Amino acid sequence: MSPHVRILRPDEYRTAHTLFGQALHAAPADDERWARSSALYVDGRTLGVDGDAAADGTPVLAGTAMSFPTRLTVPGGASVPMAAVTRVGVRADHTRRGILSALMRAQLEDVARRGEVVASLRASEARIYGRFGYGVATRGRDVEVRSHAPLRAGAPRSGAVRMITAEEARADLPALYERIHAASAGPGAMTRAAGWWELMLHRSASTTTASGYAVHRGPDGDDGHVVWSVENKGDAFGANVLRVGDLQAANPAALTGLWRFLLGVDLAESVAAHLRPLTESVELLLEDPRSCAVTGVGDETWLRLVDVAAALTARSWGDAEPVRIRVHDRLLSANDTVHVVGEKGVVDPDGSAELECDVAGLAMAYLGDRTPSELAAAGWWTAHDPTAVARADALFAASTVPWCGTFF
């Protein structure tokens, strides 16, 4: 029998948060951290499964998952309502009994009922979420750049960078992000909840020796910001790595200005940044491109298309004739049909299909991260008509490589 999932009461959120932390091997939040963490919980959206009672009869929460509402930008510039799924954990003494599966099923049904078109999460391990229809839809690049690496003479140069205090960051960065987002959000970008900022700014201030905040001002006003923390690698002065926690820029000049600033900070060996856009080629700004080491490429957004027809309607398509795709979805049956891609939300349950994939495979192409031909070659998609793959490549192509840039 599937475990019973219930909506947790607000007075149970802290227990749920402690359970989630424990599953990730983190200590329980103290009162100050809890005050910040609690802001992300939205009533009615935190699910739990009760476990075996303790020896003295005390009830035990065995698993939890929650989501908060955001919006996702899709190719073409429209945005759709998105459930940001997080704080998923099952007690180690209750794992592999189907608790996560029950939570994921109940959560997807709830998200669908709310009319949210997609759900998204960040995965602690890559083997957990595919079975629930999540696929990697954006990826990022990790870089480490030698401090004081000179920038090329031709690198964009305009505007100025000023450092701000933590209080100013808390007061000003949310509105600055909203402005940058409204003006330049590409596919994969998301809106940020107020509670998200509290957590991010607090995390960067509390986990390392120091943190910093700076804003870039261009000809039209503030157009970029960076938040970083400092990791001291030893006792020696200068054995520091500046770790970028959040870097957003509305244009190439702001981006270059912020990198120029970070690389110029004294008493540091390098600047490290995690999951930057695949197309943010810092090496192209440098006199010595080898001063920028690419230390990894990893999955960023795990995307679940909850309402496939609405998701397909929301994004724009490249210039090609429509293609008929049989989508398989074993959890949300409304998606489990033939979709005519390139036409607005058309489903054709009795029609034949040229291509076939499951809903996770569709999510991998949806924002433009992977091409249908790449997915077909790897067995994620099946082509019944080989000419349809090239058409699908043209339809799904997005002019900007997708990236989210918001960790939650």
Ligand X SMILES: CC(C)(COP(=O)(O)OP(=O)(O)OC[C@H]1O[C@@H](n2cnc3c(N)ncnc32)[C@H](O)[C@@H]1OP(=O)(O)O)[C@@H](O)C(=O)NCCC(=O)NCCS
End-to-end CA distance of the chain: 32
Q: Which of 11, 27, 55, 96 binds ligand X (CB under 6 A)?
A: 96
| 23: contact with ligand X by CB under 6 A | yes
Least CB distance to ligand X at residue 330 (A): 12
| 360: contact with ligand X by CB under 6 A | no
Annotated binding site: 88-90, 96-101, 124-125
| 90: contact with ligand X by CB under 6 A | yes
DSSP letter, residue 333: G
| 290: contact with ligand X by CB under 6 A | no
Q: Which two tokens stand for residue 185?
A: 């959000």
Rounded CA-CA distance 113/116 in Å is 8
| 95: contact with ligand X by CB under 6 A | yes
Amino acid making up residue 174: P
Q: Which of 88, 180, 185, 359 binds ligand X (CB under 6 A)?
A: 88
Is the Cβ of residue 5 or residue 263 nearer to ligand X in the bound state? 5
Closest CA to 213 of 168, 255, 253: 168
H or E stretch at 362:
helix 359-366
Rounded CA-CA distance 255/347 in Å is 42
Strand partners, 327: 357
Annotated binding site for acetyl-CoA: 88-90, 96-101, 124-125
Span near ligand X by CB under 6 A; candidates 50-58, 85-93, 309-317, 390-398: 85-93
Residues from 50 through 69 that contact ligand X (CB under 6 A): 63
Least CB distance to ligand X at residue 70 (A): 17
Span near ligand X by CB under 6 A; candidates 83-91, 153-161, 217-225, 344-352: 83-91
Q: Total number of residues binding ligand X (CB under 6 A)? A: 19
Span near ligand X by CB under 6 A; candidates 69-77, 119-127, 291-299, 308-316: 119-127
| 2: contact with ligand X by CB under 6 A | no
Cα–Cα distances in Å, from 23 out to 104, 171, 385? 17, 33, 46
Least CB distance to ligand X at residue 101 (A): 4
Instruction: Tell me the catalytic residues.
Output: 129, 408
Span near ligand X by CB under 6 A; candidates 84-92, 154-162, 265-273, 357-365: 84-92
Rounded CA-CA distance 56/112 in Å is 39
Q: Which of 29, 42, 128, 390 binds ligand X (CB under 6 A)?
A: 128
Is the Cβ of residue 104 or residue 395 nearer to ligand X in the bound state? 104
| 123: contact with ligand X by CB under 6 A | yes
Closest CA to 405 of 250, 219, 205: 250
Cα–Cα distances in Å, from 220 out to 150, 155, 156, 162? 27, 20, 16, 15
| 124: contact with ligand X by CB under 6 A | yes
Span near ligand X by CB under 6 A; candidates 67-75, 86-94, 316-324, 394-402: 86-94
Sequential DSSP letters for 1-44: -PPPEEEPPGGGHHHHHHHHHHHTT-PPP-HHHHHHHGGG--TT
Rounded CA-CA distance 173/223 in Å is 11
277, 252 in Cβ contact below 8 A? no
| 135: contact with ligand X by CB under 6 A | no
Rounded CA-CA distance 51/59 in Å is 7
Is the Cβ of residue 150 or residue 195 nearer to ligand X in the bound state? 195
Rounded CA-CA distance 242/229 in Å is 6
- Chain residues binding ligand X by CB under 6 A are 23-24, 63, 88-90, 95-101, 123-125, 127-128, 131
